[in-house]
Structure 1
């Protein structure tokens, strides 16, 4: 059985990693209360980053709950996800969604990312500049 841990190498940790995805996202998946931006990678494993602003989710307990549920969902699906950097953004109203619905939304987002990633290739851009690390 493969490892189900969620080590640091599976996380987007610094501003450069996040801006790399924000600048040129290959995929964009919308869900109720959240959105995922993804950029293909050649690392061989997915990396997940979270953006949960105080402006969209006021209470810290709600921000922490959302982050905990996303991390847990990603941890369980990590071996099924394609090699990409994924940023999950919380939208207004995500605190009103119960855990079961949020898990269903995340499961659907992972499946859509997995399906859509097959159509996107990791080809170099036309301007000759390398894109990935």
Structure 2
């Protein structure tokens, strides 16, 4: 895989890792189509997990498009203030967004998460 790929150490892989985020979420940000839960991790970089239910996004093509946008935004976007394990839950109607709206909402959520992290660091 190329250096700019989305490697295994950048992903949540096991059910226990997802459960740790769901059970102990320290931060959350949301909008109409997405919910991001986050918990601090012991690694040097943040990791991403995605949850897209067929019930919410019935088309495989749309689910894959959304996953691609989320991974790319996470990989290329501004780094987070501290290493986190993130789970992004995709809600109904996210498949109705076009690519630019999708990118804009994801970027906005990551900015909100960063501002929450910065506010916590100052406290």
TM-score w.r.t. length of structure 2: 0.89
In the aligned structure 2, how far is the partner of 1:24 from the partner of 1:119? 19
The answer for the alignment partner of 1:48 in structure 2 is 48
In the aligned structure 2, how far is the partner of 1:65 from the partner of 1:58? 12
Residues matched between the structures, number: 118
Secondary structure of 1:118's match? helix
The answer for the alignment partner of 1:124 in structure 2 is none
For structure 2, list consecutive stretches of 5 or more residues without a partner in the other structure. none
TM-score w.r.t. length of structure 1: 0.83
User: Do structure 1's residue 75 and structure 2's residue 75 form an aligned pair?
Assistant: yes
Structure showing greater radius of gyration is: 1
The answer for the alignment partner of 2:98 in structure 1 is 98
In the aligned structure 2, how far is the partner of 1:23 from the partner of 1:102? 27
The answer for the alignment partner of 1:116 in structure 2 is 116
Deviation for aligned residue 1:32: 2.9
Deviation for aligned residue 1:98: 0.6
Deviation for aligned residue 1:118: 2.6
Task: Write out per-residue CA displacement over residues 28-53 of structure 1, whole angstroms, 9 at most, x where no aligned residue.
Answer: 10023111001112312100000000
- Runs of 4+ residues over 3 Å off in structure 1: none
The answer for the alignment partner of 1:58 in structure 2 is 58
For structure 1, list consecutive stretches of 5 or more residues without a partner in the other structure. 122-133
